[in-house]
Amino acid sequence: MEIKSALREQFTLAQAGNPTGKALTLNQVQASVALAQFAEVSLFNLLAKNNVLLEANSLSVQVLKNQALEFKPKSTLGTGALGKWRITETETIAWNAPIVAVEGISAYESEMMPVDLAAIKGAKAADQFQKTFERTGFKLIENTIIKQGGTQKIQKDLSQLQPLEIYNELVGQATKLLKTVKPEQGIDLLRRDQIVIMVEPLLFDKLAIAGLLGNRAAQTLEEGQYGIQYVGGYKIVSNPYLTKFDAIVSVNFAAFGAQSIIKMTYGPLDNLSADLGFYFEGKMAHAVLYKDLLVGFTKESNLNAAYKENEYVELPEGAKQLKDGN
């Protein structure tokens, strides 16, 4: 079900029994039901699939990272002394400050059915919110790689390489990651299905046209940024949210991301005016849990690791924010 239809369904439920002239409002649960599909196609969430959420409250979310068990020779009868089930410290990730959008409704628009207009406005707001979630998350990923430096930040202009050379660079780094052994983090080699390669769209198309992505290049181009393909047995996706790096090689548990729609309302927005409007409020949280499992390729030599640190990134760098009246 597309997002507009899902929102219309939820606003229709909200309208049932709602007195005429009162605002239509979706609570957090209703909005989450409608927007669940965004989590399924989120590129950032491809790096955040295999971590355990312990608790979520209004201030933060808590995530668990499992550690490895310790094996040793049996020297006593029975089970022997119990060892401590070792886990890292629980990661507590604070929600960022909520962001809001308020839009007035024109006289022409107000002639539409309330649930239809609410769904249209809600779908647009949700789409922009999702893109902000993606851009903010990948800004954090890129800044983390810059700060880590060393062999995790590879200065190489992939756009100048031939497709097979790009293939060799990406698959080579993925295979190095495959051999990771970090007992203190519970990692004893990785599986190919845990590794994710993300490349900027032009590189993705270059590999697809050369026939290096599985055997379905035509389908790859048609599906665009959400078309998951494979290169050398590793998952690869086109990622338009990369700005400082042309490609990133990582794992599907390197990060954590969460979104929460606090409120969606259409109708009179206060008791002092009959003016109609649409109000959207949401918040999000991002974190990198395994900083040393990120590798990036960049053509730039002087990167700023503090780029928009602790800020939302709503639009691509260089794009101008709309002003009231425009």
pLDDT at 84 (0 to 100): 54
pLDDT at 83 (0 to 100): 56
Q: Tell me which of 92-101, 171-180, 209-218 is least confident.
A: 209-218
Task: Using the predicted structure, report yes or no on whether residue 215 has a pLDDT greater than 50.
Answer: no
Separation CA 207–CA 216 (nearest Å): 11
Q: What is the mean pLDDT of residues 112-124?
A: 86
* Residue 138, C-beta contacts closer than 8 angstroms, at least 6 positions apart: 43, 44, 239, 241, 242, 243
Which 3 state secondary structure label does DSSP give 193? Answer: helix
Are 279 and 100 a contacting pair, CB within 8 Å? yes
Which 3 state secondary structure label does DSSP give 242? Answer: coil
Position 50, amino acid: N
Question: How confident is the model over 277-322, as pLDDT tens digits?
Answer: 899 999 999 999 999 999 999 999 888 777 777 788 988 877 766 6
Q: What is the mean pLDDT of residues 93-108?
A: 86
- 3-67+89-298: CATH number: 3.90.1690
Q: How many CB atoms lie within 10 A of CB 61?
A: 20
Question: How confident is the model over 260-289, as pLDDT tens digits?
Answer: 888 888 887 666 566 788 999 999 999 999
Share of the chain above pLDDT 90, in %: 41
Alpha-carbon distance values, 33 to 49, 75, 282, 302 (Å): 19, 53, 14, 43
Q: What is the pTM of this model?
A: 0.85
Separation CA 25–CA 266 (nearest Å): 7
pLDDT at 160 (0 to 100): 96
pLDDT at 187 (0 to 100): 85
- The H or E element spanning position 270 is none
Position 58, amino acid: S
- Tokens representing residue 243 in the block: 């700005």
Q: What is the mean pLDDT of residues 7-18?
A: 79
Task: Using the predicted structure, report yes or no on whether residue 71 has a pLDDT greater than 60.
Answer: no
pLDDT at 203 (0 to 100): 95
**Domain spans in the chain, listed from the N-terminal domain onward:** 3-67+89-298
Maximum average pLDDT range among 93-97, 171-175, 226-230: 171-175
pLDDT at 70 (0 to 100): 56
Of 130, 133, 125, 119, give the one whose Cα is nearest residue 103.
125
Question: How confident is the model over 33-55, as pLDDT tens digits?
Answer: 777 777 778 999 999 987 778 88
